[in-house]
Amino acid sequence: MSAGWIAVAGLGPGDEDLVTPEVTATLADATDVVGYIPYVARVAPRDGLVLHPSDNRVELDRAQFALDLAAAGRRVVIISSGDPGVFAMASALFEALEARPDAHDTDIRILPGITAMLAAAARAGAPLGHDFCAINLSDNLKPFAEVERRLRHAAKGGFAMAFYNPRSKSRPHQFTRVLDILREECEPERLVLFARAVSRPEETIRCVSLAEATPEMADMQTVVIVGNQATRRVGRWVYTPRSVAG
C-alpha cells in the first residue's frame, strides 16, 4: 500500500483566480476531498476523485475521517475557504491528531490561502497597514463574554481589527453589542469597512464612520474591518499609515 497523506488547503475568498497554484496542483493529485458542503461544491469532479461533503459544525468528525483515509493510503485534501489556518480546518485537524497517537506520523501539509480579511483589505486599499488583529465574533466555540473581553482589549490597544462571522440569523443582537463596545472605546469618526462576498459577483464594499455603522450592514458573508485611530481616506481608498507618532 502506498503511503497516504493529508493536505489542508485554503480555496481563497471565492474567485478561482485567487486559488494558489500549489492548492490546484495538490487537488489534481488527490484521491479524496473532504470538507463543508459549499466548499466541496467548488471542486470539479473527475475520475479517480471521491468527494466527501459534510455539514457545518462537524469539523472534528471530518478531521478524524481524513486521518482514517490517509491511514488507508488515500491522498486526502481537506478544504476550507480562505486560509485553512484562520478559524478553519487546520486547527481542527491537529486537535483530532492530538487524540490519535497512532496517527502522529501522518504526512500532513498545510497549504495557505488568501483569507477574507486580506482580500477585503486589498479591495479597500490598506486598512491593515499597521498592527492589527482578527477576532471571530461567533460564540459557537467560546463564550460571548470572551469575545467582548478580547474586543475591548483590542480597541484599547489601538489595533485595527478584522471581524469574522459578525452577525448570524440566530444571534443578530450580538453584533449590536459589538458596535456598542466599539463606541465606548473608539471615537465616532473611526472608519468601519463592511466587505461582503469579496471577489464574488455579488461583492459589495462599504466604508462608513463608526457613528454611521448599523448591525444590518453585516451578515455571515461579511468581513468587518475597523481601522485604528490613524486610519483615513485618500480619494476612494482607505489606509492605515505604517508609522505611529511617539
Residue 234 has pLDDT above 80, yes or no: yes
For 87-102, the pLDDT digits (tens) are 999 999 999 999 999 9
What is the C-alpha separation between 37 and 81, in angstroms, rounded?
A: 11
pLDDT band at residue 54 using 50, 70 and 90 as cut-offs = very high
Residue 2 has pLDDT above 80, yes or no: no
Provide the CB-side half-sphere exposure for 12 (13 A, CA): 17
For 105-163, the pLDDT digits (tens) are 999 999 999 999 999 999 999 999 999 999 999 998 899 999 999 999 999 999 999 99
pLDDT at 172: 81
Query: Which domains are assigned to the chain?
Result: 5-114 (3.40.1010.10), 117-239 (3.30.950.10)
Residue 181 has pLDDT above 90, yes or no: yes
pLDDT at 11: 96
What is the C-alpha separation between 157 and 67, in angstroms, rounded?
A: 40
pLDDT band at residue 235 using 50, 70 and 90 as cut-offs = very high
Residue 233 has pLDDT above 70, yes or no: yes
Q: Among 159, 207, 152, which residue's Cα sits nearest to residue 182? A: 152
110 close to 10: Cβ distance less than 8 angstroms: no
Note the pTM of the prediction, 2 decimals: 0.92
Residue with cell 463606541: 183
pLDDT band at residue 71 using 50, 70 and 90 as cut-offs = very high
What is the C-alpha separation between 68 and 40, in angstroms, rounded?
A: 19
Residue 243 has pLDDT above 80, yes or no: yes
